[in-house]
Amino acid sequence: MAFAAVTLVVAYLAEDYLVKIRVGDQLKSTNNVAVSMAPYLNSSNSQLMHELAEDSSQKYGGRFLVLNKSGIVQVDSFSILTGQKIEHKEVSDVLLGPGDTSYGFHEMEDETGETFYAVYYAAAVVYETETIGAVLFADDIEDVVAITDDFVSVLIAISVAAGVVLMLFSLVFSGYIAKPIKELKTVAVSISKGNLRQRIKVTGKNEISELAGTFNTMSEKLENTDRKRSEFVSNASHELKTPLSSMKILIESLLYQDGVDEKIYKEFLTDINGEIDRLNQIISGLLTLAKTDSEAEALVLDTILLSELVYKSVSALKPIAKDKGVKLDYHVSNDLEIECDALKVMQAVINLVENAIKYTDKGGHVRVTLQRSGQNASIVVKDNGCGISQEDIGHLFDRFYRVDYARARDTGGSGLGLHISRKIALLHGGNIDVKSVEGKGSVFTLYLPLKTGETQ
C-alpha cells in the first residue's frame, strides 16, 4: 500500500509538472502573439491579423482568435467565429483585469461524443500601455495526458514487480524497508502541497537511498525554480511600479494645483516623459530577457567578421556619446572571424558600450578594443568613469541590480543590460569579465570563442 501510494503521488507530481510546463510554454507563446498582434489590431488590419493568426496556428498548433476590447472576434484562424462575442472567463480576466494573461481547462466533446480536455489561453493585446483587445489560443493537452498515462503504466508495472520482491523479503526486513518508504511518501505528499523545503534523510548505500537522493535533488531544483520565479516576479513588479508611481505623483501635482507656472508644467512633463522612456526600457529588457531564457529561442549562427559587428555597434552609439560630451573611439588589433548569432552579440556589445557611456561624466573617454586572447576573441570596453566598488562587482550581473539607484534613475538604467549581455555570452560559450577601481573607471571584457580553425 505504501509503495502504491508513492507511485500515485509521483505520477500526480509528474502529470502536474508536465501540464505546468505545457501551460507555461503555451501561455508564453500566446503572449508573444499578442505582442506581435498589437499594431495590426490597433490599425484594424484584418488581413495581417488573419495571416499572423494562421501562421501562429501552424507554428504552435491549436486555434487562435483575435478579439477587440468588447470581446468580439475580429479574426479566427479557423474562420468560423468571426464577428461573434466570446464571454469565456479567460477573456474577461485579461480585458477587465486584474492580469494580462489567463488560462483555464475545459472539458470538450469530439464528433464521436468522447470527452477530452482543452486549455484556453488568453493574453491582453496592449498598444501604448492601453489594452485594446485580447488573443485567445485554444489547444488540447491529450498528448500530455497520454505521456502521463504511459508513465503511470510503467510505474504500475514497476510497482507490481517490486511488490512481489518486497513480499518475499517483508517477513524479515519489513521494518527496515517500510520506514524509508513511509518517509518518502510523507515527504512527497508534503511537497505536493507546496512545502518544497522538505528533504529525505539519506542513509546507507542501497536502492532506497539512491531513490531518496534523486528525490532530494528533484525537490531542491523545484525549490530553486520556485524561489527564482518569486524573486523575478517581485523584482519586476517593483521595477515597473516605481516609474508609474513617479508619474502619478507628478500628474497629481499638476492636477490639484491651480495657476501652475508654465515653466513648472514643462519641467513636470519632461520628468513624466523620462519615466515613460524608463518604463519602456524596462519592458523591452524584460521581453529580451524572456527570449534569452527560453530554450525554444535557438541561436541563429552565422560566420562573421567581428570587427565589422563591433564597428557598427560603436557607430550606432557615437551620437549618444557626442551628445553627452564623452569621447568614444574604437581600435582593432586583429580582424577575427567567429560563428555567432550576430544580432544577439551586437546587442551584448551595445549594452556594454552604452553602459560605459552612461556612467562616464562629460569630458570622459570610452575606448573599445577588439583583440585576440588565446582561443577567444575579446571585446574590451574601457572607461574612466565613476568606477564600481568590489562589493558591488559580485552582483553586477544579477537581474535588476544597480550599483547606485539614484544615479541609475538619472541615466535611465533598468538593471537588466549587463545580465542580458552575460546571458548572450554564455549562450555562445563565452563570458564577461569586469575590473574596476572606484573613481578611476571600469574595464568590461566580452570573451567569445573563435571559429574552429582560426589561426594565430
pLDDT over 70 (residue 400): no
Neighbours of 252 (CB within 10 A): 10
Between CA 229 and CA 24 the distance in angstroms is 12
* Helices of type H across 193-261: 207-255
Question: Which distant-in-sequence residues (6+ apart) come within 8 Å of 241 by Cβ?
Answer: none
Contact present, 70 and 170 (Cβ < 8 Å): no
Q: Mind listing the pLDDT tens digit for each residue in 257-292?
A: 777 777 877 877 887 776 676 677 667 666 665 665
Between CA 351 and CA 418 the distance in angstroms is 7
The length of the chain in residues reads: 456
The DSSP secondary-structure symbol of 72 reads: B
Please give the average per-residue pLDDT across 189-216, as a whole number: 70
- Sign (positive/negative) of CA torsion 410, 415, 421, 422? positive
Between CA 240 and CA 345 the distance in angstroms is 27
pLDDT confidence band for 432 (50 / 70 / 90): very high
Q: For residue 380, what are the β-bridge partners?
A: 369, 445
Between CA 75 and CA 82 the distance in angstroms is 6
Q: Mind listing the pLDDT tens digit for each residue in 336-361?
A: 889 988 888 888 898 899 889 988 98
The DSSP secondary-structure symbol of 185 reads: H
Could you tell me which CATH number the domain at 228-293 has?
1.10.287.130
Q: Report the chain's mean pLDDT, rounded to a whole number.
A: 79
pLDDT confidence band for 296 (50 / 70 / 90): very low
- Choose among 346, 307, 334, 315: nearest CA to 428: 346
- The helix-helix angle for 417-427 and 342-358 (nearest 10°) equals 150
pTM for the model stands at 0.43
What's residue 295's pLDDT?
44
Mode of pairing for the β-strands spanning 376-383 and 337-340: unpaired
Q: Report the topology of domain 302-449.
A: Heat Shock Protein 90 (3.30.565)
Burial class (CB in 10 A: 0-12, 13-18, 19+), 147: middle
**Position with higher pLDDT, 354 vs 255:** 354
% of the chain with per-residue pLDDT over 90: 22
State the distance between the two ends of the chain, measured CA to CA, in whole angstroms.
67
At residue 373, the 3 state secondary structure works out as strand
Cell of 140: 488540447
User: What are the C-alpha distances in Å from 354 to residues 234, 341, 346?
Assistant: 27, 20, 12
Contact present, 61 and 121 (Cβ < 8 Å): no
What's residue 276's pLDDT?
78
Domain boundaries, the chain: 2-144, 228-293, 302-449
Cell of 316: 550606432
Contact present, 137 and 124 (Cβ < 8 Å): no
What's residue 151's pLDDT?
65
pLDDT confidence band for 144 (50 / 70 / 90): low
Rg (CA), the chain: 28
CATH of 2-144, one of 3.30.450.20, 3.40.50.1100, 3.30.465.10, 3.30.565.10: 3.30.450.20
